Amino acid sequence: MSAQTENLLNALSWRYAVKKFDANKKIDSKTWQALEESLILTPSSYGLQPWRFQIVTNLDLRRKLTPVSWGQKQVEDCSHLVVFTVKEKVDEVYVQSFIHQMGKVRGVDPATFAGYQKMIVSDVVNGPRSQVAFDWAARQSYIALGNFMTACALVGVDTCPMEGIDPAKYDEILGLVGSGWKTVMACPAGYRASDDKYASEKKVRFEKSVLIEHRD
C-alpha cells in the first residue's frame, strides 16, 4: 500500500460523526480556505453547480439554529457551520450565466457552447427533470457534502453531517425565503471534544463481501 492510499484510509477510519465539538478550538484561516475550495471543486451534473454554501460562523445566529436542529449542540459548538442550499428551480438565466463563465474561464466565445447550452436547457429547464428540479439539485448537493467531509478528514478536521434539521426554519433564520435557494442539510466542522465518547467507538460496517460485488 502506498503512503497516499494509507493516508486516505487512515483519515477515513479516523473520522466519525462528531457528537461534541470543542467550542474553544477553531479552524485556522488557511485550512478553512482550502476546505472552501474543496466545496467549489465538487463535481456536478453538467457542471451546473446548483448550490450555494452558507458558511455560518456568527455564534448568535448558530444559537438560533440549534433549536431547529433537534437541539444538537454541534451547530453552535463547532468552528464553522456549512449549510447546503440549492436552487429551487434552474432557469435559462442561470444556465446562461454558467455558459458565460465557461467562456470566461476557458478563454473562448460563449457561443462555442451553444449546443451544450441547448442540451442543458432541454433537459433541466424544459424537460422532465424540470418537474423535479429541487430534488435533482438536492441530490447533487450530497456530492458536495461527501467531498467536503473527505477533504476535512484528510486535513484532520472533524465533521458531523446533519439531516436532522428543519430546513424551512433554517431558510427563515438565514433570510433565504423568497431568494430562490432552499436549505437541504447542514454540516458542522471543527474539532472533537476530548470527552466525546463516540470518538473511540469502533465503526460498524457490513463486510466488504456484502457491500461490494465485482462484475469481472
Q: Please report, for the chain, the start and end positions of each structural domain, with discontinuous segments joined by +.
A: 3-84+141-193
If we measure between CA atoms, which residue out of 104, 99, 133 comes closest to residue 117?
99
For every residue of 144-159, DSSP letters joined together read HHHHHHHHHHHTT-EE
Q: Is 187 exposed, middle or buried (0-12, 13-18, 19+ CB in 10 A)?
A: buried
- 187 vs 75: CA distance, rounded Å: 8
What 3-state DSSP class applies to 196?
A: coil
Total Cβ atoms within 10 A of residue 168: 13
pLDDT at 64 (0 to 100): 98
* CATH architecture of structural domain 3-84+141-193: 3-Layer(aba) Sandwich (3.40)
What 3-state DSSP class applies to 35?
A: helix
Which residues have C-beta within 8 Å of that of residue 191, sequence separation ≥ 6? 21, 22, 25, 27, 79, 157, 158
- 86 vs 144: CA distance, rounded Å: 11
pLDDT at 1 (0 to 100): 79
- 176 vs 201: CA distance, rounded Å: 38
pLDDT at 14 (0 to 100): 98
Contact predicate 79/27, CB 8 Å: yes
Residue numbers of the chain with a pLDDT score lower than 50:
none
DSSP 69: G
